[in-house]
Each structure stands twice: as C-alpha cells, then as structure tokens.
Amino acid sequence: MNKIKSFHPLTIFLFFILNMTFTLFTYNPIILGISLIVSLFYSLYYHDFKIFLGNIGFYLFTILLIVLINPLFNHRGMTILFFLNEQAITQESIIFGFAIALVLVSIIIWSSIFSYTMDTDKNMYLFSKVSVNLALIVALVLRFIPEMKKKKQEFIDTQTTLGMKKTKSLSVRLSINYQILLALITWSLEHYLTLSLSMKARGHKQGKRSYYHSYAFTLKDFVIMLFGGLLLAFYIYCNYKGHLYFYYYPVIGELKFNAFSIILFSASFLFMLAPLIYELGVSLKWFFLRRKI
C-alpha cells in the first residue's frame, strides 16, 4: 500500500518542501536527528530491504567523506586535536562537518521519497498551473534519473552475462565502463528524441490540456496543510526567539531545552511522520475489517 500517494499533489509537494526547509535552515542537532531518522523510516517502508541497505552504505560513505574533508579546509574551533601539515584539526570542525553531512543525507533521502511519491501526472497537474513547460521539465528530470539507473543496470547485467565484468584488468574494466557510458548517452538521446517526436505527433500543447487523474482536496489534506502551516509559524517564532539556536564555534554549544523547544521537537516529529501514521492506520483498519469477514 502507498496511501501517501492518495494525498492531493499540492499537499504532497508542500509536505516535502516543509520537511526540507526545517532541515536546511537550522543546524540544531535535535531537528537534524529527527529529520534523518524519520526520512529513514520512509525509505525503509517504501523501498525493498536490499535497496535500503545499499542506500545506507552510500549514506554512511557520504557522512564519513564530509566528516573527513571538512577539517582539512575548516580550521576554526578552540579544541585542537592534532596538527596535519601544520594545520590545526579541531574537534569543532569535525562535529560541524558531521552536522553538514546529516543535512545533506537527510535532503537526499527526502528528495528520493519525493520523487517516488510524485509521479509524472501529479507533477504535470501541479506545475502546469504555473507553466506547462516547467511542469514538463520537472516531470522529465524526476523521471530521468531512475530510468538512467535502471538502464545502466541492464547494460551492466548484459556485460556480466557476456563475462566481460569478471576480468581483473583495470584497463579492460575502464574500457567496459566507458562503453556503458557511451551506450547510456546514446540511449538517452535516442529515447528523448523519440519522446519529443511522439509528443508532437499526439498534439502536445495544442488545445486545452486534460488530466488522466482527478485529484480531490479532502479532509486529510486540509489537516496536513493546517498542521504544516501552524508548525511553520511556530518554527519561525522559536527560531526568532533563539529557542533553536545552537553554535559549533568557537566551542560546541550546549543543547538547551525549554517548553517551546520541546513542543517544537515533538510537533516536528509528528508532522514528518503524519502521512506514514495515516497509512499505517488505514492498513490496520483494513486488517481488522478483513478479520471480521
């Protein structure tokens, strides 16, 4: 089941935009931790477990890479751990690099869930109100990356079947990867040229556009958007009053908890989980109804 797709396209779009906004515009460790954990919940729920484990490996590699690179260029901080080429490696720069990595990984996960949830028709429905060309570009971009990954895997599987990927020679493997890259470029150019000709033949942009799906704005959409609007206003207020303020330089600050910050952390956690809670609630409802039959 994927009940999150049953929400109105505008609700889905604003839900993910708000989650990314909360993640991007604060470096408070609690908010970053909530965003990362909840986004991982969605990734685990909607993706195959093997794919999820593969993604976890990529996320850990990204975090480690940023944590290692940031202290090499950023030498701010009072707690010097050691010197590398006469440059200070500080504890604060390492922890700040970890915070940056959490932001980046969280945004990547939220974006992947967004592209999984917002299909082509939803994007066309939503963005064509502003511009048909913009809607088409957004839909094609979101569709292009998964298609390229799928096609790349097909080419790799073909090379593996032919026994070409089993070679240990670096030059041969580089040659094979180069051939796969050329095949991907050729396929993408041919594919989208065919797509453009097909759209032209079907009368694209001629006459009034109709939609395959009709999306209704229901009570659950109103609740999510009202919750999101109130949370955004409260977030701005707390940020303005300094309830979310946390500093990494010159020394690591201390987390301060008060009534406002605790309410905001709890509300953010519930808002980010709201569609998933709704979906689990619907699943449980149908489970008990089937048991009564």
Spatial CA neighbour of 4 closest among 196, 277, 290: 277
Residues β-bridged to residue 90:
80
Range of the domain at 104: 3-128+209-292
Domain assignment present for residue 156? The answer is no
> Longest C-alpha distance within the chain, in Å?
75
Q: What is the pTM of this model?
A: 0.74
**Domain-embedded: residue 72:** yes
| pLDDT for residue 243 | 86
Within 47-131, where are the H helices? 49-73, 91-117, 120-127
Q: What is the pLDDT of residue 228?
A: 92
Residue 244 tokens read as 């979310």
Grouping H, G, I as helix, E, B as strand and the rest as coil, residue 26 is coil
Q: Do residues 204 and 132 lie in contact, with contact meaning Cβ atoms separated by under 8 Å? A: no
Residue 138 lies in a domain: no
Tell me if 191 is assigned to some domain.
Answer: no
Total number of domains constituting the chain: 1
The pLDDT profile of the chain, 293 residues, written as one tens digit per residue, is 556 777 888 888 899 999 999 998 888 899 999 999 999 998 888 888 888 888 888 899 999 999 999 888 888 888 888 888 778 888 888 999 999 999 999 999 998 888 888 877 777 777 666 666 666 666 676 667 777 777 877 877 777 777 665 666 777 777 777 788 888 888 877 777 777 777 667 666 666 655 556 677 888 889 999 999 999 999 999 988 888 888 888 888 888 888 999 999 999 999 999 988 888 887 787 777 787 77
**Is residue 79 included in any domain, yes or no?**
yes
Residue 227: inside a domain, yes or no? yes
Q: What share of the chain is helix, strand, coil (3-state, %, to 5)?
A: 75, 5, 25
Considering the domain boundaries, does residue 275 fall inside one? yes
| In-domain check, residue 162 | no
